[in-house]
């Protein structure tokens, strides 16, 4: 019996929220079993040369399709998977721009949260800037306020790339910023996330060390 090649070979880590976004999309579309996961040691300072074979920037997620096309950045890989499956996670018309804007909001929250984490994790203590750290957390808070405002509409909108990205972003705060207590300031977002995070695609992709 001939075994079909994987639709993607994917450099990943179990802690990356951007990898989680890709795998949540793959699970939502029923494609997760067709993705070959490649181990990597992604780090903001120590470059993993294996990842660079797929992505010259050296960041995960980085993928190669069955026909050799290189794809990187979660936004590109997610759209490739949705196009492959004709899944509708990238809607058309006005709903598309709303979904993409929410994807950008979630990615922006993650960018700021990761920069804050790297400031403490990767930079020598004597070079760390508290002002920089607090500025990144300020961006996280601004994104949370926007999610709180959109939560009632999110609750009545079918799952799409925007909702998946926001779900992965809030999940990352729980994973890496557990003391933030964002739920007490964003009760509507907390209620939406409790329901959304209970979906099988989110349960299957929860981050772990």
Concatenate the DSSP letters of all residues of 18-61 into one string: HHHHHHHHHHHHT-GGGEEEEE----SSS--HHHHTT-TT--S-
Report whether 131 contacts 189 (CB < 8 A). Answer: no
Computed over every residue of the chain, the mean pLDDT equals 95
Instruction: Say if 48 falls within a structural domain.
Output: yes
Instruction: Say if 209 falls within a structural domain.
Output: no
Query: Average pLDDT in the 158-180 region?
Result: 97
pTM, two decimal places: 0.95
Looking at residue 46, what is its pLDDT?
Answer: 85
Q: What is the CATH number of the domain that holds 108?
A: 1.20.1050.10
Does residue 2 have a pLDDT over 80? Answer: no
Q: In this structure, are 61 and 152 located in the same domain?
A: no
> What distance in Å separates the CA atoms of residue 5 and residue 7, rounded to the nearest whole number?
6
Give the domain range for residue 39. Answer: 8-85
Last residue within a domain, chosen from 48, 68, 85: 85
> What distance in Å separates the CA atoms of residue 162 and residue 123, rounded to the nearest whole number?
32
In this predicted model, what pLDDT tens digit does every residue of 8-61 receive, in sequence order?
A: 999 999 999 999 999 999 999 999 999 999 999 888 878 889 999 999 999 999
Last residue within a domain, chosen from 47, 66, 85: 85
């Amino acid at each position: 019996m001939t075994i079909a090649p994987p639709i993607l070979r994917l450099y990943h880590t179990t802690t990356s929220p951007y990898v989680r976004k890709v795998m949540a999309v793959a699970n939502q579309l029923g494609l997760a079993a067709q993705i070959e996961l490649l181990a990597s040691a992604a780090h903001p300072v120590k470059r993993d040369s294996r990842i660079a074979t797929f992505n010259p920037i050296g960041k995960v997620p980085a993928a190669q399709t069955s026909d050799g096309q290189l794809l990187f950045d979660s936004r590109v890989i997610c759209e490739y998977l949705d196009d492959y499956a004709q899944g509708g996670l990238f809607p058309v018309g006005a709903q598309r721009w709303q979904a993409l804007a929410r994807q950008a909001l979630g990615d922006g929250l993650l960018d700021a949260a990761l920069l804050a984490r790297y400031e403490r994790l990767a930079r020598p203590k004597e070079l760390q800037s508290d002002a920089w750290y607090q500025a990144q957390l300020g961006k996280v808070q601004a994104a949370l306020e926007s999610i709180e405002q959109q939560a009632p509409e999110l609750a009545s909108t079918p799952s799409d790339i925007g909702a998946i990205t926001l779900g992965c972003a809030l999940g990352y705060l729980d994973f890496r910023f557990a003391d933030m207590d964002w739920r007490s300031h964003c009760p509507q977002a907390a209620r939406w996330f409790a329901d959304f995070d209970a979906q099988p695609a989110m349960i299957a992709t929860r981050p772990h060390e």
